[in-house]
Amino acid sequence: MTDKAEATTPPVTDAEPPFRYGARLAGEIEQRWQTWWREHGTYASPNPTGPLSDGFDDITGRAPFFVLDMFPYPSGAGLHVGHPLGYIGTDVYARYLRMTGRHVLHSFGYDAFGLPAEQYAINTGQHPRVTTEANIANMRRQLARLGLGHDTRREIATTDVPYYRWTQWIFKKIFDSWYDEDLDRARPIAELTAEFDAGTRVPSRQANPSGRPWAELDAAARRKVVDGYRLAYLAEGLVNWCPGLGTVLANEEVTAEGRSDIGNYPVFRRPLRQWTLRITAYAERLMADLDLVDWPDSIKQMQRNWIGPSEGAHVTFATVVGSAEGPGAPAGPAVEVYTTRPDTLPGATFMVLAPEHPLVDALTAAAWPGDTPDGWKFGEARPAGVDWTPAAAVAAYRDFAGQRSDRQRGEEFDRTGVFTGAYARNPISGAAIPIFLADYVLLGYGTGAVMAVPAHDQRDFEFARTFGLPTPPVLAPDDAFLAEHGLSSNDPVDAWPVAFSGEGEYLPAPPGAPVLTGLSKADAVKTTVSWLEAAGGGRAARSYRLRDWLFSRQRYWGEPFPIVYDETGLPIAVPDEVLPVELPEMTDFRPTPMAEDDTSDPVPPLARAAGWTTVTLDLGDGPREYRRETNTMPQWAGSCWYYLRYLDPTNAERFVDPEIERYWMQAADGPAGDGGVDLYVGGVEHAVLHLLYARFWHKVLYDLGLVSTKEPFKRLFNQGMIQADAFLDSRGMYVPAAEVTIDPDGAPRHEGEPVTRRSGKMGKSLKNSVTPDEMYDMYGADTLRVYEMAMGPLDADRPWRTDDIVGSHRFLQRLWRNLVDEATGEPRFVDADLDDEANRALHRAILAVRADYAGLRFNTAVARLIELTNFVSKHYGDARRPPRALAEAMALMIAPLAPHVAEELWSRLGHEGSLVREPFPVGDESLAAESTVTLPVQVNGKVRFTLSVPAAAGEDDIRSALTAHEDYAKYTDGKTVKRLIIVPGRIVNIAVA
RNA sequence: GCCCAUGUAGCCCAACGGAAGAGGCGUCCGGUUCAGGGCCGGAAGGUUGGGGGUUCGAAUCCCUCCAUGGGCACCA
């Protein structure tokens, strides 16, 4: 920042003409038109039906277009100039669309539940309801000054009780659904129980571990079975427990460093019973349907990475417990593993289960097999004097693994584990291979068990070396591998420093095994899978990195679950008539503080709400008392469906009227299920979390017939981030950027001391925030809008420079001065036709600006309008006035970018009312065309002279003009013209030898 | 380590494979002005990150390296 930036007084002096476009006049114009728009409901978009349908008949013939901004949370710090970038972008585009015949829906709202709002409330010692409402009011004020054309009748906040009532209702729909793998869609749970009752479907072994027939199960047992099918279910699982926040977090809210996304507190893994949403049922569709949407490739790639599909096979291993051989050894349960390399199955020399694998107890032997090496017994954990059985060792190891699973990434992973005393039978080699537990195998991925092929997998290799297990190769390494590690093809596998995981020649197979010699890896995988399928020991399978979505939080400021429990402890959804389940008023809403090593269950704040935790309901068998669920939903819940509520925000009967939903969401022409929000603009930080969750909810609603499109957001656009310089003093502390001065040689100083410059996100922590309010005062909102759009492409990150914004202000000032007399305020125009040069300038600008607006290239649209303005300044200088047609076109063309000044110009040019729905000027190619063009003539790629020809000249005309040109002979005499390239209207290139 | 994006004038950024420059900031010169600021007119400013290739012609397409930003990373 230079000294100039400190001058917050507007650049206005006594000598300034009364109608010069400066900060004072801009402010007056902006306030006046914002009031006018509000009073006339200019941006209200009528629905086809329902309470918001007034005026719908007037928009006949206008095709609907739904523009959406990502839902912000109302921060207590207020907005800085980086925040509204996307909001301005959508507003410019929406205004352009209104002027080109579209019926635009554009509203706004606040994602006001959740951790950021609650942390702010806790830090300031106020109730979150109070701080949230104050923050929303401040944000609304700041945004209103920008002149955004929102239909404010549709504004919502997730914390509004009438809104979260429907969030709870949708949760109930998810709870009351199950995923039918055969039909590949969600169905109501009632259809599942009907099929069980009719005997047309039998509960899966997983949902019904007892295996007893449905008909013989009592009511509670049946409920347990059905609960195992629900898309929202309670599960005991390893969760990300964050004592610092007093809550658990979703995987997506934990950083790669094992800390909370919010607040950067340490996160620990521990088992807890939590609400979980079965998003993994949709993994395949969430992958495949990315092909249906128009999103940036990078975002699609991030979603694909997150879902993380892999192709492989499930292979079943028979087991024996307590002894490798021996006819007397008892058989254990079969274990299924997931592998992407079934071709290496002959080389599997041991098996590893995740420490929490459900079959561990069944596989743990009563005593160590006779030849068990001491190193397999996890003896380091053995307390003195304890009888060290496999069960004791396994328990000790599970405890150990649970403690340390929060270790940091990027570290060397050591290989720890314990032998269970059980063996598995390798289906190909027939060998008995030991079964270990090790924490490098994760319960949540694949089947939670792996066949370890140490020769060809680095993790298995390291484990085998640590535990002294054999590493027989299945395929011979390629030359590159040998060369890299200084090996020859004769060297034994013991000489390998690492596993060979590439492709190579398969070694001869043992008798009875599938023959892979000479096959590629892909063919070898196929051959082995076919062999396994024939032998009944395996099948092809896909696996996903994606996990089910942990959906409860031990916090106050969220949607309460519409769930109660009866004496069985099983969950029951409350009837729709009881919705909403309102948050109880509490004076102490803080999470219960927990020590990091506390192993007791977290206590949600709602569990302390006296008089709320139990409720008397009549669920069909008379009034009885039920216990409420005291967890709340995560912040993401409310943002999973807000775009649908914008469509029909006041509906008390439905979450959205189907007719209104179809009108705005369904593609006019396209296959069934096509459509979605026409343009969704937001930051790349939501690439995975919000966009994946919202797609999941939308697909559930689609399966249940509640929405008409397969995807919520047809087109996605990521706006860039505005960054700003920050300055560090000699101690490495940030100093306020606004107080930094720049020496003439460019060196930054703060209070006389040199400081170092660093670029970063604008914000409190870097002390480099610039607020929109400051910019309104200095230049007005229109200038801020134009500057933010002119800085660069909408999707690019760009650095904020307060010094640069003056250029956008001067532009609007020149534009104004061309059209309005600065001394009198009278319009400057004549009723006369444009000359050819002015017509060319105007129509070239119209054609370019239209295309730029339509393509979201607002930076180049600004440049073209500046160009035209500069032309008008020169062409119609002080004395002359521009023709009316030119003046009006300029007012209309600037309107999307600078709506206030455009309205003012439009009205001073003699029009009544607003130009918001005036037709955008249409360019004429023939008027824009030059009559003659100057073609550069290159000789061997270098420009040597130019050629003036009629614009319409064809190749032959140009050739004759060229050969007649005096310079032609100069460059070709005595040389051979090898080739002559003529691109009419563009260039001529002579290739000579 | 793997994947993606971006490198153009002091700075922010334009440029269907066709003359390196549309627009803005800054700098310098001039005009207006008592002066400053503002406004107006003009000018300077380049190895398009480096190297190689394709092409009549490359900022643009391909390969490679470098820099910056982002995503993923014990996922069997």
CA of A848: nucleotide with nearest C1': B22
Superfamily of segment(s) A45-128+136-169+636-718 = HUPs (3.40.50.620)
Name the amino acid, one letter, at A737.
A
Short-list A559, A688, A601, A791, CA closest to A81: A791
Residues A527-541 have a mean pLDDT of: 90
Answer for A305: CB within 7 Å of strand B: yes
Answer for A402: CB within 7 Å of strand B: no
* CA–C1' A15–B34 (A): 14
Answer for A938: CB within 7 Å of strand B: yes
The pLDDT value given to residue A34: 97
Residue positions of A in the annotated binding site? Answer: 764
Answer for A298: CB within 7 Å of strand B: yes
What crossing angle do the helices spanning A899-908 and A23-40 adopt, rounded to 10°? 90
Give CATH 1.10.730.10 domain extents, chain A: 19-40+770-929
Enter the ipTM.
Answer: 0.95
Please name the helix (run of DSSP H) or strand (run of DSSP E) that holds residue A851, with its range, or none.
helix A836-854
* CA–C1' A892–B38 (A): 28
Q: Which residues contact A499 (CB under 8 A, 6 or more apart)?
A: A454, A455, A456, A457, A458, A460, A461, A471
Please name the helix (run of DSSP H) or strand (run of DSSP E) that holds residue A353, with its range, or none.
strand A350-353
| pLDDT of A15 higher than 90 | no
Give CATH 3.10.20.590 domain extents, chain A: 930-992
Give CATH 3.40.50.620 domain extents, chain A: 45-128+136-169+636-718
Answer for A984: CB within 7 Å of strand B: no
Summarised one tens digit per residue, pLDDT across range A238-256 is 777 888 777 787 766 777 6
> In this complex, which residue's CA is closest to the C1' atom of nucleotide B41?
A874
Answer for A806: CB within 7 Å of strand B: yes
Superfamily of segment(s) A309-544 = Valyl/Leucyl/Isoleucyl-tRNA synthetase, editing domain (3.90.740.10)
| pLDDT of A273 higher than 50 | yes
Answer for A989: CB within 7 Å of strand B: yes
The pLDDT value given to residue A653: 95
Answer for A816: CB within 7 Å of strand B: no
Residue positions of A in the annotated binding site for ATP? Answer: 764
**Do the beta carbons of residue A447 and residue A310 sit within 8 Å?**
no
CA of A852: nucleotide with nearest C1': B14
Residues A175-195 have a mean pLDDT of: 97
Summarised one tens digit per residue, pLDDT across range A343-379 is 999 999 999 999 888 899 999 999 999 889 999 999 8
- Percentage of the residues of chain A whose pLDDT score is greater than 70: 95
> In this complex, which residue's CA is closest to the C1' atom of nucleotide B55?
A941
Maximal C-alpha separation, chain A: 111
Any idea which architecture A19-40+770-929 has in CATH?
Orthogonal Bundle (1.10)
Answer for A466: CB within 7 Å of strand B: no
Confidence of residue A744 (pLDDT cuts 50, 70, 90): low
Check residues 545 to 604 of chain A and report those whose beta carbon is under 7 Å from nucleic acid strand B. 545
Cα pseudo-dihedral A473, A476, A477, A482, rounded to 10: 100
**Do the beta carbons of residue A265 and residue A245 sit within 8 Å?**
yes
Give the up-direction half-sphere exposure of residue A472: CA atoms within 13 A in the CB hemisphere: 16
* CA–C1' A379–B46 (A): 70
CA of A943: nucleotide with nearest C1': B19
| pLDDT of A405 higher than 60 | no
Pairing between β-strand A722-728 and β-strand A716-718 as defined by DSSP bridges: unpaired
Name the amino acid, one letter, at A823.
A
Long-range contacts of A408-417 (CB under 8 A, 24+ apart): A408/A257, A408/A258, A409/A256, A409/A257, A409/A258, A413/A440, A413/A459, A413/A462, A415/A440, A415/A459, A415/A462, A415/A463, A415/A465, A415/A466, A415/A467, A416/A378, A417/A352, A417/A376, A417/A378, A417/A463, A417/A467
Summarised one tens digit per residue, pLDDT across range A68-91 is 999 998 888 889 999 999 999 999
| pLDDT of A98 higher than 50 | yes
Considering only the top CATH level, what class is A930-992? Answer: alpha beta
Nucleotides of B under 7 A from a protein CB: 3-5, 10-16, 18-20, 22-26, 35-41, 56-58, 69-76
d(CA A390, CA A233) in angstroms, rounded, equals: 34
